[in-house]
């Protein structure tokens, strides 16, 4: 159990275009989803916390108008990188926190990540 999927797994786009990344919890309901970015050989940096049905909470320094997050249901959150530029190239990973049931509610389960390259 506790499987999180992400789509696409990789994407290459031209500068100025927008890219949408989907994060789904497949076998559990996720009260909260998180979006991270990770640069090569670095740790994960939290971008925003997304609660179902409410606005996302962004970390300091993250542009909310550039990284649009929508958490429409307990199993789906989307991150849209608007007007992407080469400096937005990174590995984006989502995670989901379990809402209830037999799985530990304190644990975040991660998706496989999306590698974004902006030309």
By CB under 8 A, tell whether 28 contacts other proteins: no
Taking the least distance from each CB to other proteins, the nearer of 13 and 103 is 103
CB of 83 to other proteins, least distance (A): 25
By CB under 8 A, tell whether 67 contacts other proteins: no
Q: What's the rounded Cα separation, in Å, for the pair 19 and 45?
A: 20
How many residues comprise the chain?
119
Taking the least distance from each CB to other proteins, the nearer of 14 and 43 is 43
Q: Which stretch binds other proteins (CB under 8 A): 20-28, 44-52, 60-68, 74-82?
A: 44-52
Contact 82, 17 (CB under 8 A): no
Contact 71, 53 (CB under 8 A): yes
Query: Is the bond preceding residue 8 a cis peptide, omega within 30 degrees?
Result: yes
Neighbours of 11 (CB within 10 A): 18
By CB under 8 A, tell whether 91 contacts other proteins: yes
Q: Which of 88, 96, 95 is nearest to 115 (CA)?
A: 88
By CB under 8 A, tell whether 82 contacts other proteins: no
By CB under 8 A, tell whether 2 contacts other proteins: yes
# residues contacting other proteins (CB under 8 A): 24
Q: What's the rounded Cα separation, in Å, for the pair 76 and 85?
A: 25
- Where on the chain is the footprint of other proteins (CB under 8 A)? 2, 32, 34, 38, 42-44, 46, 49, 57, 91, 93, 95, 97, 104, 106-113, 115
């Amino acid at each position: 159990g506790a499987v999180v999927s992400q789509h696409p797994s990789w994407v290459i786009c031209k500068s100025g275009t927008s890219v949408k990344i989907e994060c789904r919890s497949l076998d559990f309901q996720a009260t909260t989803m998180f979006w991270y970015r990770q640069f090569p050989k670095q740790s994960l940096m939290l971008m925003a916390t997304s609660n179902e049905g409410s606005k996302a909470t962004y970390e300091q320094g993250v542009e909310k108008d550039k990284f649009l997050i929508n958490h429409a249901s307990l199993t789906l959150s989307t991150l849209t990188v608007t007007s992407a530029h080469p400096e937005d190239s990174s590995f984006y990973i989502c995670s989901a926190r379990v809402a209830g049931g037999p799985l530990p509610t304190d644990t975040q389960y991660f998706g496989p990540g999306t590698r974004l390259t902006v030309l």
